[in-house]
Structure 1
Amino acid sequence: MNRLFNRLFLSATLVVLLLMLALWQWLQLNHELSRNQIQQSLHLSLAEHMAHINPLLSQGITSDAALKEAFHDFMLLGPSFEIYTLNLEGKVVAYDAKEEKIKTSRVDLEAIGKFIAGNHLPILGTDPRSENGQKIFSASRLMTPEGLHSGYLYVIIGGEDYDSWQALISAEHQPQIWGATIGFWVLFCLILLVILLRYFTQPVQKLAKDLREMTQSGLDNLGEQNHSLSLPSRYTASSEIQQLSQHINQLLGEISRQQAHLKRQQQAKHDFLLHLSHDLKTPLTSLLGYIDTWQLLPEDERSPELIEYAANSGQTLQQLLGQLLELAALENGQINANLQQVDLNQLLEQIAQTFNPRASRLGISLDFTLDKPMTIYTDPQLMRRVLNNLVDNALRYTPEQGSIRIYTETLNHQHWLAVADTGSGMHKHEVDALKQLSLSQFSFEYSQALPQLGVGLAIVRQLLGLLKCQINIDSTPGEGCCFHIQLQNVRA
């Protein structure tokens, strides 16, 4: 019952049956109207001839006693006719029937007037033997020899006896006629419906079959190179089916592209984790090596420098793990930006206080002082983490006697914050690799280590994305790097 064909078939069958009943009723009414028109047309002058040939009627006599015998003769000649005489007010004066059969004693003269005037047939008039019934009739004026109008001769065509015989015959033959006619038309319409429904639903069935086969074959191969699912171009029955197949193909194409993108992301993330494990392995090996060496040495030969080296390796390892957890939190949407007006001079002063001791030990000068006061619209905590990552990286790759500067610049009416160092710099392919946005988009050769600031810049980019800022990288090998951060709503 849930199939489209079955529902359409049942609905159409019900509609056809209702239409057949309505058509049959209309044919019955039309047949009765045509029969009445023919009968009344054939007996149009019946009353006039009766009045002319009967001596009493030709003299305009309408009394009951004088006309009984004449009515009886007329009824024998035509038992399907009922004959009445009416006075000028339409009251029934004479008739050949038992008195109890007369239900209505007054005939509507308006219908008689239309008949005598020659209006379009059929015209229905009052049936005296029925309280509210109407039948076709023939009528004529009765005129006295002096030319005075004395009444009407009113003849019902198809009287009570005629109706009784017709009802008897109809009751006998009507079921056969109804059964044969309705059976034929219902069978014909059902066969036609089945053919039409098969024709119109065949494209839908083809579409359902293709989708079922596609589902059964599985979607595991979606996203592989040179492989995408699509429906065959064979739905030509209607524009709606063609549009539906095109939309399905578009969805399948989009699913295929997304699946391919997800597989590339999974592969890139897998490669990234392999590289990350390589970078984690180096400080971990150093940490364990220094500790093992310290334990193997005699107590009087154990150097504090070994513990310091081990501590530095542990800090490096801790930093990498912290960066990885921070990047995962950013990608999972666990960190949100709280944008507000921030004093950039004060923020840079706090960062300088954080890194001054380390920079002094390394022999690197820091210059984070701006020429003028400046306020920016940002999240102070997130911006501080961005600058901390950049400055920390610069300290690791800037040699002794080098310098790190943070300053502002204006390019094309846009304010930027620059973090520049005089370190080793990066090659173009390393800069291109660092332009990726997240952990899932890193892709490097496994034989290589992660580029400088790999995880750190991924964090920086994610944080700047929350702050709605852009970042650009300029680098020359052997001369240093400069990171440009776009600033929002600057007020000097």
Structure 2
Amino acid sequence: MNRLFNRLFFVATAIALLLFVALWQWLQLNHEFSRNQIQQSLHLELAEHMAHINPLLSQGITSDAALKEAFHDFMLLGPSFEIYTLDPNGKVIAYDAKEEKIKNHRVDINIIQQFLAGKHLPLLGTDPRSLDTQKIFSAAKLINSQGLHSGYLYVIIGGEDYDSWQALINAENQPKIWGATIGFWVIFALILFVILLRYFTRPIHKLAQDLNALKTLPISENLTLPERYRGSLEISQLSEHINHLLQEIQQQQQQVKRQQQAKHDFLLHLSHDLKTPLTALLGYIDTWLILPADERDAVLIQYAANSGQTLQQLLAQLLELAALENGQIHAQLQQVELASLLNEVEKTFAPRAKNLGISLQFKLERPSQTYTDPQLMRRILNNLVDNALRYTPKGGTIQIINQQYQGQQWLAVRDTGAGMHQHEVEALKQLSIQPAHFSHNQPLPQLGVGLAIVRQLLGILKCRIEIASQPGIGSEFKIELVSHH
């Protein structure tokens, strides 16, 4: 019963049976109406002929004694007719039955007058032997020898005996008729509905088969339903929606693969970044240990300490990146003075830049404010400057300036370092150009931990970034600033 075909079949069969019962009842009523019309039309002048051929009735005599003599002349008509004489007001005077059988002693004269006036048949008149039944009849006006209206001759067509025999025969034949008719109708309905339902549910069946076949195919293949299904508009739309969902599933599966590959590559890149300072740290310590006590130079310990600090910084950045990707860091936006922010960044990197022989030039063309989280923006600038220091040679320059660009205020970080290749630039751009659609599930660019953190922080602050870089020449990162809430 859970299958669509079965449910449609049973519902349609029930509706067909109800329609059949209604049709049967209508045919029965129509048959009875036609039978009454034919019977009454055939016996239209029966009462008039009976009154004409009987000597007593033809003289307008309506008494019971006179009518009983006439009844013998009409026995040839059979038991299907009941004969009554009525006075001019419709009161029953004489009849061919026992007294106890007469239940109604007055007949509706209006119907008799309509009959005599030739109204459309069939007309149903009062049945003296019943209180609530009406039957077809024939009637004639009786005129006495003085030419006065003395009453009516009233003949019921299909009397009580006729009804009794008809009911008996119907009771015997009705089950056979009903059984044969219902059996034929059920067989016909079964064949018809099986054909129709098979036709209408064929697209659904085909769709179910195709979907079942798709289960055996790997998601990496081009999954799609093999054809456009013919049938109702709903089936066509359903197949289109399924194809659309299959395409989305494949795209998501491919995206997951790209993310996994990107994270794998990122871990390889990170392992190299961690391995370099760790190897240097261990190398300086081993060198210091194998030297004689009087030849041990404190510079080796300083180099080892520097490598340890680099390693510590990388591990701190890695923890920060994990916190960002897990959504544990949120922006606390407020109005921030850019001059104060750049002053803190410059103080942080000035000693290191001096030791490396790199010039820091942090200046603002005009005082300005931005609406941002000062701590997160400081992290972004710190990571950009730290990355620039790592790849800018001695004698190079790192600048931070503000400028108007495309009608917006931007903060640019420039360096004269090694620069980046175009694929590295695109890896950072595709994750930062549309921060409104930023997702923590996007793949990490192969730009090191620092720039990966920049990528995440830009998404939290919903800032755009534009990147220009050429290998051997340098890089420029321009961050769009928001001036108000």
Give TM-score, length-normalised by structure 1: 0.90
Note the C-alpha offset of 1:428. Answer: 4.5
Write the distance in 1 (CA, Å) between the matches of 2:265 and 2:114: 103
Counterpart of 1:284, as a letter, is L
1:170 to 1:330, Cα distance in 2 relative to 1, 3 A:
same
Note the C-alpha offset of 1:432. Answer: 4.1
Q: Which moved more, 1:278-287 or 1:401-410?
A: 401-410
Contact 1:374 / 1:490 at 8 angstroms: preserved in 2?
no
Note the C-alpha offset of 1:320. Answer: 2.2
Show the counterpart of 2:25.
25
Write the distance in 1 (CA, Å) between the matches of 2:471 and 2:196: 77
| 1:352-397 deviations in Å (ceiling 9; x for gaps) | 2323333344344433342433121112221111111112222333
Write the distance in 1 (CA, Å) between the matches of 2:105 and 2:219: 92
Show the counterpart of 2:219.
222
| 1:40-60 deviations in Å (ceiling 9; x for gaps) | 110011111112222222222
Write the distance in 2 (CA, Å) between the matches of 1:433 and 1:7: 55
| 1:205-240 deviations in Å (ceiling 9; x for gaps) | 22112211221x14xx323xxx31122216324443
Show the counterpart of 1:161.
161
Counterpart of 1:46, as a letter, is L
Show the counterpart of 2:139.
139
**DSSP 3-state at the match of 1:435:** helix
1:25 to 1:433, Cα distance in 2 relative to 1, 3 A:
closer
1:286 to 1:295, Cα distance in 2 relative to 1, 3 A:
same
Q: Which moved more, 1:44-53 or 1:144-153?
A: 144-153
Show the counterpart of 1:380.
374
How do residues 61-80 of structure 1 correspond to structure 2 at under 5 angstroms?
61-80=61-80
**DSSP 3-state at the match of 2:82:** strand
Show the counterpart of 2:111.
111
How do residues 421-432 of structure 1 correspond to structure 2 at under 5 angstroms?
421-428=415-422, 430-432=424-426
Note the C-alpha offset of 1:156. Answer: 0.5
| 1:398-455 deviations in Å (ceiling 9; x for gaps) | 3445443322111232111112234344455554454353895457xxxxxx6xx533
Note the C-alpha offset of 1:110. Answer: 2.2
Note the C-alpha offset of 1:342. Answer: 2.0
Contact 1:272 / 1:439 at 8 angstroms: preserved in 2?
no
Q: Which moved more, 1:71-80 or 1:39-48?
A: 71-80
User: How many residues in Structure 1 have an aligned counterpart in Structure 2?
Assistant: 477
Counterpart of 1:186, as a letter, is V
1:235 to 1:298, Cα distance in 2 relative to 1, 3 A:
same
Q: Which moved more, 1:133-142 or 1:199-208?
A: 199-208
**DSSP 3-state at the match of 2:60:** coil
Note the C-alpha offset of 1:33. Answer: 1.1
Contact 2:138 / 2:157 at 8 angstroms: preserved in 1?
yes
**DSSP 3-state at the match of 2:429:** coil
Write the distance in 2 (CA, Å) between the matches of 1:376 and 1:308: 40
Write the distance in 1 (CA, Å) between the matches of 2:348 and 2:83: 128
Counterpart of 2:171, as a letter, is A
**5+ unaligned residues in a row in structure 1: which ranges?**
444-449
Show the counterpart of 1:58.
58
Show the counterpart of 2:180.
180
1:101 to 1:256, Cα distance in 2 relative to 1, 3 A:
same
Q: Which moved more, 1:240-249 or 1:104-113?
A: 240-249
- Answer yes or no: is 1:259 the counterpart of 2:259: no
1:20 to 1:302, Cα distance in 2 relative to 1, 3 A:
same
Contact 2:269 / 2:448 at 8 angstroms: preserved in 1?
no
Contact 1:222 / 1:260 at 8 angstroms: preserved in 2?
no
Aligned residue among 232, 241, 247 for 1:247:
241
Contact 2:112 / 2:125 at 8 angstroms: preserved in 1?
yes
The CA RMSD over aligned residues, in Å, is 2.4
Q: Which moved more, 1:283-292 or 1:122-131?
A: 283-292
**5+ unaligned residues in a row in structure 2: which ranges?**
432-439
**DSSP 3-state at the match of 2:367:** coil
Contact 1:268 / 1:440 at 8 angstroms: preserved in 2?
no
Write the distance in 1 (CA, Å) between the matches of 2:428 and 2:58: 125
1:79 to 1:209, Cα distance in 2 relative to 1, 3 A:
same
1:426 to 1:287, Cα distance in 2 relative to 1, 3 A:
same
Show the counterpart of 2:13.
13
Contact 1:47 / 1:140 at 8 angstroms: preserved in 2?
yes
Contact 1:266 / 1:440 at 8 angstroms: preserved in 2?
no
Show the counterpart of 1:467.
461
Show the counterpart of 1:420.
414
Show the counterpart of 2:273.
279
